[in-house]
Structure 1
């Protein structure tokens, strides 16, 4: 039974929804459902919600679905790949703060085993939907899209899409910095100014200043003090 609210205009709009108007006449079409989603709570380390399409596609009960079951239904040959991709994603999300989390969409494919024993391939897409007041990731929306006629996993299967710039980026370099920009960023972190970097690299100070501006633009940072505080330089 749908909940009735006091506002008459909203109630009128609710009654006009196709799902409401046709709820008694619409035929069931489970074969047309090709994806499901769930919400992962990163703080509590649990699946907070699973939509009904999960049960329609996999045959498992969406009300009892949890992380242990997710791992159990992954094809044994794809489990190591699953963990490697999750580890890559974690290395990047651990560097991000506040709205930066909403900038990226992470995706890769693997196989799962349905309740009836059938093996299907899904593409997993994950994006942030909530961060803590400290700026750390707290909830993600995870979508599983069925991939038909899937045969061989391509080399670039693991992808990170930058929604702000509308481009796919290198999973080992979430800000898509060039080698020169990496080099300059490392020297800035070491405490060198533009003139000192210019002398060390034997390129003009003007070029160094241009690279500095590009680095700040790519990382959406207002200053290098902010950027250095934000980033882990372990990979540099």
Structure 2
């Protein structure tokens, strides 16, 4: 995408592209293509990995760009524990962030992301700068064993430039870019049914496995076809392979 095209994108279009980048990074980590440290080295902006549960939250990793912005070492940030979230955000914003992270955990929303604007205190001054932050729940792998939540944060100023750099760094898969919105629109039940369909299960077998009626399965299948706009099993399989929905 050329810089002239980027500059004409709306805020919503920039956010959509940012979501796609986050999914691509998650897929690269899960497929053992990159470690979180390697991701942190190539992605512009602040890349973080958090260890999040319903009881506690703590920072596990932050790339050098983020550490330089805050003026702390990685060990100092880790030692803060949950106080990290209150040291750099205005009063009230930390609570909103932690509530959002908890909702992701409760819903096991691996296919979706949580996005928000926040003010962050950087450097030695008491002033705050606006950032656009996007986070995504990760499945545990050897590459992200220290944490389970990937977060990317970028200053609102210059987001168009960011999109161009990330596109080049990750060499985006065009199919995923074209179909990411469809993937994000799927419910947890629809994702389960897609996995069973590409595994060769019939509607009756899916109904038995999920303890729902065959009629309910068929309704879900119709909704899946409408959302994905697929016309054959081959097209459904292509989608499932691209978004890791095969067993």
TM-score (norm 1): 0.45
Larger radius of gyration: 1
Structure ranking higher in helix proportion: 2
TM-score (norm 2): 0.43
Structure ranking higher in strand proportion: 1
